[in-house]
């Protein structure tokens, strides 16, 4: 297995509605990642793309449509897909291209233009449910999150205030991210009360506990050890990758715990040689499309015991100056959620944190190893990457 390094990361601004087309967003992010890596498109041997449902961009086979924007013309090009988990899967997808020994460089691009769907992108989400037994009930995306959140809260007796605290932490963190979506954080004095006072969308989910609809793109440049050593004296290495998909029969499983995240994390830890993740992971970007999800995922990642994450949050462990900073970027709640691009933004954040280039977002403790994680599908997919320097 070849060692694989991350040489550069790039992203666009995250926006509710971008003037740029999907192709243009992909190009902006890819170009920034290449510039940072000190490479040009000529140096790119293959392209790995991720993007969530075609229904958002409004183009069937949108991978093909986006190919030129992602720099893939006349190159080996592959689009992979694991629903919302795609953003972190992106680097895994790129990783196996290089780790196989077949390519020395790979450009990884994640794009999402959700605003193209009219009148509301949520309507596209109805079609993620089973066409026989679920769609006829008139179901929307928020249902499944609300059902899972309520189950998680009931099993561990978690107060809504604690969940709201995640929103506050991430939205305040997001203010320091130059790419954050305009208006995503009501103000620098946001409180738990504000979150609880925001509109109930699907109880127990309040509006400020949900990441918004976003357009954006993010990109990474990966390289083999041979190329990495030539290009940089501070390489960031992919130390572990993991992904697992659970059954689609989600009503036959207990949603209180994301077993698929645990399996994905164990796979990544094994590869990275990590035996005690709570000591060996120094900064973490768990997936936070909804506020409770960050806590839920921290438990799945074995960074907290089952039901313990809310208590650690209350103690400030996950703050930027805490023992295990979580979502220092601001996450999906604080930066925005262009589905696939959001996960890749998290990987980019870990990359910048490890290089000490995160600016105002740089966490207080020294960091040598970080983890990014995404989730997807019907409470089904865990994707995990461990980066180290």
Partner 1 sequence: MRERVAIVGVGYTSFRPLSPEVSFREMVFEAACRAYADAGLEPDRVGTFVAVSEDYLEGTSIFDEYVPDQLGAVLKPVQTICQDGITAIASAYLQLATGLFEVALVEGHAKASNVLYPAHIEAFAMDPVFVRPLGLNPRFVAGLEMRSFLAQTGNTEEQVALVVAKNKANALKNPLAAYPALVTAEDVLASRPVATPVKELDIAPFADGAVVLILARESVARTLKSQPVYIRGIGWMQDTPNLDQRDWSQASYAELAGRMAYRQAGIRDPKEEICFAEVDDTFSYKELQHIEALGLARCGEAGVLLSEGYFLPDGPLPVNVSGGSLGNGYLYDASGLRSVLEVVLQLRGQAGERQLPDVRVGLAQSWRGIPTASGGVIILSNE
Partner 2 sequence: MMKPQNARGVPLKDEDLKVGKVLTTEWRVKADYAWDCGIAIGRYFDGLKEGKILATRCRRCRRTVVPPRIFCEWCFKPMDEWVEVRDTGRVNTFSVSYFSWDMTPLEKPEVPAVVEIDGCSPGVGFMHLLGEVGDNLDEILRRVKVGMKVRAVWKPADQRTGAITDILYFKPEEE
Give which of partner 1, partner 2, none residue 40 binds (C-beta under 5 to 8 Å, depending on kind): none
Q: How far is the CB of 43 from partner 2 (least distance, A)?
A: 16
Encoding tokens for residue 329? 């970027």
Nearest CB to partner 1, comparing residues 135 and 315: 135
Binding site for partner 1 (CB under 8 A): 1-2, 21, 47, 52-55, 58-61, 63-68, 72-84, 89, 93, 95-97, 99-102, 124-125, 127-128, 130-131, 242-249, 259-260, 263, 267, 271, 376-378, 380-381
Site for partner 2 in 214-273 (CB under 8 A): 215-216, 247, 249, 251-255
Other CB atoms within 10 Å distance of the CB of residue 271? 16
What distance in Å separates the CA atoms of residue 9 and residue 28, rounded to the nearest whole number?
11
Cβ atoms 252, 382 nearer than 8 A: no
Nearest CB to partner 2, comparing residues 21 and 225: 21
Cβ atoms 257, 299 nearer than 8 A: yes
Q: At what angle do helices 160-174 and 291-300 cross, to 10 degrees?
A: 100
Q: How far is the CB of 371 from partner 2 (least distance, A)?
A: 20
Nearest CB to partner 1, comparing residues 2 and 308: 2
Nearest CB to partner 1, comparing residues 55 and 158: 55
CA nearest to 97, candidates 27, 4, 6, 235: 4
What distance in Å separates the CA atoms of residue 54 and residue 64, rounded to the nearest whole number?
11
Size of the site for partner 2 (CB under 8 A): 67
Nearest CB to partner 1, comparing residues 3 and 311: 3
Give which of partner 1, partner 2, none residue 36 binds (C-beta under 5 to 8 Å, depending on kind): partner 2
Question: What H or E segment, with its residue span, contains residue 355?
Answer: helix 339-355
What distance in Å separates the CA atoms of residue 256 and residue 112, rounded to the nearest whole number?
29
Nearest CB to partner 2, comparing residues 64 and 357: 357
Q: Is 61 in the site for partner 2 (CB under 8 A)?
A: no
Q: How far is the CB of 60 from partner 1 (least distance, A)?
A: 4
Q: Is 159 in the site for partner 2 (CB under 8 A)?
A: no
**What are the strands, taking DSSP E only, across 86-182?**
105-113
CA nearest to 51, candidates 109, 135, 134, 123: 109
As to burial, measured by CB atoms within 10 angstroms (0-12 exposed, 13-18 middle, 19+ buried), residue 295 is buried
Nearest CB to partner 2, comparing residues 272 and 341: 341
Other CB atoms within 10 Å distance of the CB of residue 203? 11
Q: How far is the CB of 344 from partner 1 (least distance, A)?
A: 16
Give which of partner 2, partner 1, none residue 118 binds (C-beta under 5 to 8 Å, depending on kind): partner 2
Query: How far, CA to CA in Å, does 197 sit from each of 194, 200, 207, 211?
Result: 5, 8, 9, 16
Q: Which residues contact partner 2 (rule: CB under 8 A)? A: 10-20, 25, 28, 31-32, 35-36, 58, 60, 118-120, 122-123, 126, 130-134, 136-140, 142-143, 146-151, 154, 177-179, 182, 199-205, 215-216, 247, 249, 251-255, 352, 357, 359
């Amino acid at each position: 297995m070849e060692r694989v390094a991350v040489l550069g990361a790039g992203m666009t601004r995250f926006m509710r509605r971008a003037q740029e087309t999907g192709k243009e967003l992909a190009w902006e992010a890819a170009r920034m990642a290449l510039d940072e890596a000190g490479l040009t498109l000529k140096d790119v041997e293959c392209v790995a793309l991720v993007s969530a449902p075609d229904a958002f961009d409004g183009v069937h086979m949108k991978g093909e449509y986006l190919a030129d924007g992602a720099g893939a013309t006349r190159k080996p090009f592959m689009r992979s897909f694991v629903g919302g988990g795609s953003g972190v899967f992106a680097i895994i997808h790129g990783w196996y291209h290089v780790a196989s020994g077949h390519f020395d460089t790979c450009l990884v691009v994640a794009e999402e233009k959700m605003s193209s769907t009219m009148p509301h992108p949520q309507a596209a989400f109805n079609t993620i449910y089973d066409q026989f037994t679920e769609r006829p009930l008139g179901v929307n995306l928020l249902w499944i999150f609300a059902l899972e959140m309520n189950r998680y809260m009931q099993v561990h007796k978690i107060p809504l205030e604690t969940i709201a605290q995640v929103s506050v932490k991430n939205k305040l963190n997001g203010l320091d991210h130059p790419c954050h979506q305009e208006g995503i954080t009501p103000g620098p004095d946001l409180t738990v009360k504000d979150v609880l006072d925001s509109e109930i969308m699907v109880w127990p989910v309040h509006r400020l506990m949900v990441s918004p609809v976003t357009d954006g793109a993010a990109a990474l440049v990966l390289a083999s050890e041979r190329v990495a050593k030539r290009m940089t004296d501070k390489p960031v290495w992919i130390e572990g990758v993991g992904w697992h998909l659970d059954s689609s029969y989600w009503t036959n499983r207990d949603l209180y715990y994301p077993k698929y995240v645990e399996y994905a994390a164990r796979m990544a830890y094994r590869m990275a040689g990590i035996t005690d993740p709570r000591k060996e992971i120094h900064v973490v970007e768990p997936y936070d499309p909804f506020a409770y999800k960050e806590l839920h995922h921290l438990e799945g990642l074995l960074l907290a015991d089952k039901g313990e994450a809310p208590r650690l949050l209350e103690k400030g462990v996950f703050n930027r100056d805490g023992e295990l900073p979580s979502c220092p970027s601001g996450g999906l709640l604080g930066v925005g959620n262009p589905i696939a691009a959001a996960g890749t933004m998290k990987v980019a954040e870990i990359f910048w944190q490890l290089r000490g280039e995160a600016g105002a977002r740089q966490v207080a403790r020294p960091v040598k190893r970080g983890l990014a994680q995404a989730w997807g599908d019907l409470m089904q997919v865990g994707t995990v990457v461990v980066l180290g320097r």
